[in-house]
Amino acid sequence: MSDLSEAVSLALTLVLTFDSDLIEIVALSLRVSLSAVLLACLIGLPLGAFLAITRFPGRGVALTFLNALMGLPPVVVGLIVYLHLSRAGPLGFLGLLYTPAAMIIAQTILITPIVAALSRQVLEDLHLEYADQFRSFALTRAQTMRALIWDARYSLLTVALAGFGRAVAEVGAVMIVGGNIDHLTRVMTTAIALETSRGELALAMALGVVLMVLALGVNAAVHGVRATAARQAHA
Amino acid sequence: MTDSALTHAPGMSLRVRDLSHRAGARRLLDAISLSLKPAGVTVIMGPNGAGKSLFLRLVHGLATPTAGQISWGGALLSPALTRRQSLVFQNPVLLRRSVAANVDFILRARGRSDPAKRDAALARVGLSDEAHHPARRLSGGQQQRLALARALVTEPEALLLDEPTASLDPASVLMIERIVADTAAQGTKIVFVTHDIGQARRLADDVVFLHAGQLAEYSPAARFFDAPRSEAAQAYLQGRLLI
């Protein structure tokens, strides 16, 4: 219990004094994870919408495969990205290894299946309601996909939130491709892992408290947006 | 009403030949053949399960016949022809957007965003004051009128309505009937499904009566209501239950 109170006290001190190291780590964590969420949404939402409205041979297998990808082990993704971005790898010439860009790539690969699979379910449910009307409108597939994504936007926020939760809490992949380099690629989870290994439990827990507060804050914001939308009958 | 932005395309004739639809071994529509004039209000009547809604879905391309041909204006039914029609469902399917955005959606989908036309369509159905309200907050009658505005704004050559006034209050029913009658008067072909005999009397120029998936009768409205030829229609108009 004393460790926890010490951690909370330290976390408050770090936050209230605008500790520059903490701010840097939090900012990088948010930058990496939010960028990954944005990229995953750009890829995953159209993919989810396509799978929601399209019937083709092998669709069941594709959905099973996509659902299975939701459980991708982060360290395996980290290793694969590492192999591609290392000097000897096919994308080594880009010089991205041990940069935030590499971390964004790894997290994007991790959470795109989550966004695609969850959005597919949300959009398929909505499409059941809209399908006849959209066919009557004689919409193209692209028009249907855009309309579904827009009308499900508040539900899809929760999907994005699930992706963000996975990204911001992820440590294995970003550790491998980022290297946990101070002032360059150190994010909250890798910093927590490092401080724990160094025996700095209070600092590790303080960072953990900040991470949880951040996650709660993002959740609360999304919940607020959804509640407002529901009141306006747009959700 | 600022109706000037809305124009009306001339109606399309409908011809179906040997139109059939099966679900497994069940024959839901059986070899229906008829030709509807390119103008006026054709009311499709019949008891529950007669195949009225299915007929409408088939001629609009929402369902595929197991046999037979459907042509509008002399051309076989195609997605391009479906775009020249509008269908209003019994339960309006409104997008999770404002009233105005619901109308804008179909205009943009057709590649011709036109606020003046949207405003005229909303004025025509008496929803101008609700333009910026969420569509799903409207009453049932208002939602159906919005669906009608969305259907009319594309200036369809044929307007198909599948029991659009079921479960609406009398004022909403009359308002929708007036809009439908006005639209027909301006040349648009109307195909209106209902099992409300009073409504059919008010609206119909001719009546298609379906019974058990078969065409029991197709007559001018006056003759249908005064002296129906088929036994099924006679029984229906006399309020005897048909199964």
Confidence tier at A28 by pLDDT (50, 70, 90): very high
Answer whether A234 sits within 8 Å of B62, measured CB to CB: no
Answer whether B96 sits within 8 Å of A234, measured CB to CB: yes
Confidence tier at A116 by pLDDT (50, 70, 90): very high
Residue A233 in contact with partner chain B when CB distance is under 8 A: yes
What distance in Å separates the CA atoms of residue B213 and residue B21, rounded to the nearest whole number? 9
User: Which of A132, A143, A151 minimises the CB distance to B96?
Assistant: A151
What distance in Å separates the CA atoms of residue B111 and residue A231, rounded to the nearest whole number? 32
Q: Are B144 and B150 in contact (CB under 8 A)?
A: no
Answer whether B82 sits within 8 Å of A235, measured CB to CB: no
Per the structure block, which two tokens stand in for A80? Answer: 């694969």
Q: In chain B, what percentage of residues exceed pLDDT 90? A: 86
Query: Which residues of B fall within a CB distance of 8 Å from A136?
Result: 60, 62, 82, 86-87, 89
Closest CA to A49 of A168, A106, A130: A130
Enumerate long-range contacts of A222-227, CB under 8 Å, 24 or more apart: A222/A157, A222/A158, A222/A160, A222/A161, A225/A154, A225/A157, A226/A154, A226/A155, A226/A157, A226/A158
Answer whether A133 sits within 8 Å of B86, measured CB to CB: no
Answer whether A232 sits within 8 Å of B62, measured CB to CB: no
What distance in Å separates the CA atoms of residue B40 and residue A110, rounded to the nearest whole number? 59
φ/ψ of A86, rounded to 5, equals -65, 160
Question: Phi-psi region for residue A173, left (φ > 0), alpha (ψ -120 to 50) or beta?
Answer: alpha
Give Cα separations from A97 to A29, A49, A80 (angstroms).
Answer: 17, 32, 12
The Cα of A123 is separated from the nearest Cα of chain B by a number of Å equal to: 13
Rounded (5°) CA angle A119-A160-B101: 70
Give the model confidence (pLDDT) of B166-196 as tens digits.
Answer: 989 999 999 999 999 999 999 999 999 998 9
User: Which of A132, A139, A234 minimises the CB distance to B62?
Assistant: A132
The Cα of B105 is separated from the nearest Cα of chain A by a number of Å equal to: 9
What ipTM does this complex have?
Answer: 0.89
Per the structure block, which two tokens stand in for A90? Answer: 């096919």
What distance in Å separates the CA atoms of residue A133 and residue A121, rounded to the nearest whole number? 20
Give the model confidence (pLDDT) of B127-150 as tens digits.
Answer: 999 999 999 999 999 999 999 999
Confidence tier at B3 by pLDDT (50, 70, 90): low
Answer whether A147 sits within 8 Å of B136, measured CB to CB: no
Average confidence score pLDDT of chain A: 92
Q: What is the pLDDT of residue A233?
A: 65
pLDDT above 50 for B1: no
Q: What is the pLDDT of residue A229?
A: 78
Q: A2-234: which CATH architecture?
A: Orthogonal Bundle (1.10)
Classify residue B44 as exposed, middle or buried by CB count within 10 Å of its CB (0-12, 13-18, 19+). Answer: buried
Query: Which residues of A fall within a CB distance of 8 Å from B82?
Result: 135-136, 138
Rounded (5°) CA angle B62-B66-B70: 60
The domain locations on chain A are 2-234
| Range A68-99 burial, b when 16+ CB lie within 10 A, else e | ebbebebeebbbbbbebbeeeeeeeeeebbbb
Q: Are B59 and B16 in contact (CB under 8 A)?
A: yes
Q: Are A139 and B109 in contact (CB under 8 A)?
A: yes
Q: Are A136 and A196 in contact (CB under 8 A)?
A: no
